[in-house]
Amino acid sequence: MEISLLTLLYIIASVTFIIGLKMLSHPDSARKGNLIAAGGMTLAIFGTIFLYRDEAGNKLHNYAWIFGGIVIGCIIGTLSAKKVKMTAMPEMVSLFNGMGGACAALISLVEFNHLQHTLENSRIELLMMDAAGPVQATLLVIMAGLIIGSVSFAGSVIAWGKLNGKIKDFSFNGQHIFNIVLLLVIVGLAAYIIGWLPENASLIFYAAFVLSLLYGVFFVLPIGGADMPVVISLLNSFTGVAAACGGFLYGNKVMLTGGILVGAAGTLLTILMCKAMNRSLANVLIGSFGGGAKGIAGDTNKEAGHHKEINIMDTAVVMAYANKVIIVPGYGLAVAQAQHACHELEKLLNERGVEVKYAIHPVAGRMPGHMNVLLAEADVSYEKLEEMEQANEEFPTTDVVLILGANDVVNPAAKTDPSSPIYGMPILDVELAKTIIVNKRSMKPGYAGIENDLFYRPKTSMLFGDAKKVLQDLIAEIKSI
């Protein structure tokens, strides 16, 4: 009866994962979907703790360790989530994702030691009875979980360091060839263990473990900062696949289902992100977009000309008497923690009869959905958020576009300059609006490391300053009109 009850709980939990994932696809239902999926995970965890039986019918007994780990993890996770600033959300997501990869790798380490102990006691019997097949199948799953989990963990830690500025982009001549050779060595070691069951398997196994960690580091190090949203999504799919391997090892259906869902969702999101940037995944991993753009802006600078500035008073007048305003949020908005001031400006303009919307580029910010989360924190209505395709249809009828800290996602070079590293990347066509106002701290290039020709065009005016301070001053000025 208990086994059937546990199976039922696993089915319910799996269904909640699917429903939650579906609800996460829309901002209006994302929060509820997250809670539903979390509820299913809680059900699966406690069902496993109290109802699981092994083949001999034994229950779990080390409750002190189990609940001690749960309590410590919950405290750390809750405090981290509450203390983190929205600007640091991408690196927190990357770090938490890395922890999932580490867990999958640890499962493989534990299960390999357990399997090795079994082999040491019955190696001759296994070989004589031709029972190596099931052992090799188990080793295949263990090695897959170890390699993928280790790469995900090490890569996520490097991504975390790059996002918070503690680790700089690093590459050397022939690094991609080095990475390929390193990966082939890892796969070769795994194949040797699985195919031949050598007596020194332990040494080879731990060598593969260390090399997988090393590969994860060198896999992410050369990738440029502008590609971090794609990298985070890809590493997330790795973690899902590694977790699914753990589900195979333990015959745990809900763990398998959850891992497959995460792996599939991460893979699809990675494909969509690449499509939004008009680049292949191979180009993302090899191209180092935003990671080595030294001097790329040189030729662009020669044609840049001079920019013109606008003050708060003139900006207030232009926006207060406009019919339609579209706000383009970027990472600069997140850095300044200006989302609440932005929402206040939106409400003030609405009161004056101005239609206000937000244009969201798929890769704006430092992780998938960064801008959506940022604006949701300020209670911006989901109906006002427009995806790139929708926004591009409205720019020709827009009086004012206010760009807050965005750069590469509005750079016309993506459409006009074949030599640009972002050429072919779909962008927000803000240049079609009647007036473009760009708020930045300075004229420094964006993450791709190239100048933005938009800043020097006749319809564009630069409004320099911290986004939060500028918006607060703008609100005060509009109120006085």
| pLDDT tens digits for range 81-119 | 888 876 677 888 899 999 999 999 999 999 999 888 776
Q: Do 141 and 45 have their domain in common?
A: no
Q: Kindly tell me if the per-residue pLDDT of 132 is higher than 60.
A: no
Any domain includes 113: yes
Residue listed under structure tokens 């022939």 = 174
Whether the pLDDT of residue 290 is over 90: the answer is no
Asked whether the predicted pLDDT for residue 469 surpasses 70, the reply is yes
Most confidently modeled range among 167-181, 186-200, 427-441: 427-441
In a domain, 268, yes or no: yes
Which of residues 308 and 172 earns the better pLDDT score? 308
Query: Are 336 and 405 in a shared domain?
Result: yes
**184 within some domain:** yes
Distance CA 6, CA 194 (A): 33
Would you say residue 193 lies in a domain? yes
Residue 18 domain-assigned?
A: yes
Whether residue 185 sits in one domain with residue 201: yes
When pLDDT is cut at 50, 70 and 90, the band that residue 133 belongs to is low
CA separation for the pair 404, 394 (Å, rounded):
18
C-alpha to C-alpha distance for 8 and 471, rounded to whole angstroms: 53
**Range in 249-258, 292-301, 359-368 the model is least confident about:** 292-301
Band of pLDDT at residue 171, cut at 50, 70 and 90: confident
pLDDT band at 136 (very low <50, low <70, confident <90, very high): confident
Last residue of a domain, one of 259, 287, 315: 287
Q: Which pLDDT score is estimated for 296? A: 40
Q: Is residue 134 exposed (0-12), middle (13-18) or buried (19+ Cβ within 10 Å)?
A: exposed
Residue 292 located in a structural domain: no
* Tens of pLDDT, residues 331-347: 888 888 899 999 999 99
Band (294; pLDDT cuts 50, 70, 90): very low
125 plus 78 within the same structural domain: no
pLDDT of residue 295: 39
- Which CATH number belongs to the domain containing residue 432 in this structure? 3.40.50.1220
**Pair (303, 401) in one structural domain:** yes
Predicted TM-score of the model (pTM): 0.80
Residue at 419 is within a domain? yes
What would the pLDDT profile of 410-460 be if each residue is shown by its tens digit? Answer: 999 888 888 887 788 889 999 999 999 999 988 877 666 678 989 999 999
- Please say if the pLDDT value at position 289 is more than 60: no
**How far apart are alpha carbons 213 and 220 in whole angstroms?**
11
User: Are residues 257 and 337 located together in one domain of the fold?
Assistant: no
| Token output for 47 | 């069902």
Question: Final residue of a domain: which of 287, 305, 331?
Answer: 287
- Looking at the structure, tell me whether residues 306 and 249 fall in a common domain: no
Q: Mark whether 249 and 345 lie in a shared domain.
A: no
* Residues of the domain holding 1: 1-83
User: Within this chain, do residues 268 and 314 fall inside the same structural domain, yes or no?
Assistant: no
Same domain, 66 and 92: no
Catalytic site residues?
A: 408
The CA distance from 76 to 78, in Å, is 6
Residues 377 and 258 reside in one and the same domain: no
Q: In the predicted model, what is the mean pLDDT of residues 293-311?
A: 60
* Domain limit, last residue, from 46, 68, 83: 83
325 has pLDDT over 90: yes
Sign of CA dihedral 258, 260, 262, 265: negative
> Are 47 and 151 in a shared domain?
no
Of the two residues 440 and 374, the one the predictor is more confident about is: 440
> For 214-259, how does the pLDDT look when each residue is reduced to its tens digit (9 = 90+)?
999 999 988 876 677 788 889 999 999 999 999 999 888 899 999 9
* Residue 261 domain-assigned (yes or no): yes
How many Cα atoms occupy the beta-carbon half-sphere of 328 within 13 Å? 32
Binned at pLDDT 50, 70 and 90, residue 301 comes out as very low
Give the residue-averaged pLDDT of 396-420: 90
280 has pLDDT over 80: no
**pLDDT > 90? residue 72:** yes
Report how many domains make up the chain.
3
Share of the chain above pLDDT 90, in %: 53
Burial label, 43 (beta-carbon count in 10 A; 0-12, 13-18, 19+):
middle
Lookup: tokens for 12: 């319910």
Residue 204: pLDDT over 90: yes
